[in-house]
Homo-oligomer: A and B are copies of this chain.
Amino acid sequence: MSAKKPRLPRRSGCPISYSLEIFGDRWTLLVLRDLLLKGRRHFKDFLAAEEGIATNILTDRLQRLEAFGVIRRVRDPEDRRRRIYRPTDKGIALLPVLLELAAWGAHHDSGTAAPSGFVARFAEDREAVLEEFRRALSED
């Protein structure tokens, strides 16, 4: 596996540019949302998300995330047809990015479906919210 890294040659040394080389598209962070915030694990789960990602795009994104060391992919011992996708530490470190995007979106989208009170809670105790998600992810 993992021959999927560079889509384009490196554009600059900027850290944001580096991050966007991995996440700068309409789907990758949505996949990570399901993985990190919703605890989804299987291909089928990501496919079932409301936004309707296509199978070829999902496969591509999962492969890239694996190649960049953000997730790992193993065969499910209970059903060998299935694959389990899990975040690495590098992946878990993306929680703040996801939550800041969520907070911004929830605050500025008049039609948001964000959980009620999420923005206030995050603003009030950011670290506690982060810790909750980290704990959920470490329960394996």
Contact = CB atoms under 8 A, between A and B. Distances in A.
Contact of A105 (B15, B27, B111, B112): B15
A135 interface: no
A58 interface: no
Contacts of A26: 20-21, 24-25
Interface residues of A, number: 44
Contacts of A106: 15
Given A15-B101, A18-B105, 13 more contacts: A12-B113, A13-B109, A15-B105, A16-B30, A16-B101, A19-B105, A20-B29, A20-B101, A23-B101, A90-B108, A93-B107, A94-B104, A100-B100
A32 B49 CA distance: 29
Contacts of A18: 105, 108-109, 112
B111 A50 contact: no
A114 B33 contact: no
Contacts of A51: 11-12, 14, 17
Given A14-B113, A33-B14, A19 B104 contact: yes
22 contacts: A11-B51, A11-B52, A12-B49, A13-B111, A13-B113, A14-B51, A14-B114, A15-B103, A15-B106, A15-B112, A15-B113, A16-B30, A16-B101, A17-B51, A18-B109, A20-B29, A20-B30, A23-B101, A24-B24, A25-B25, A25-B26, A90-B108
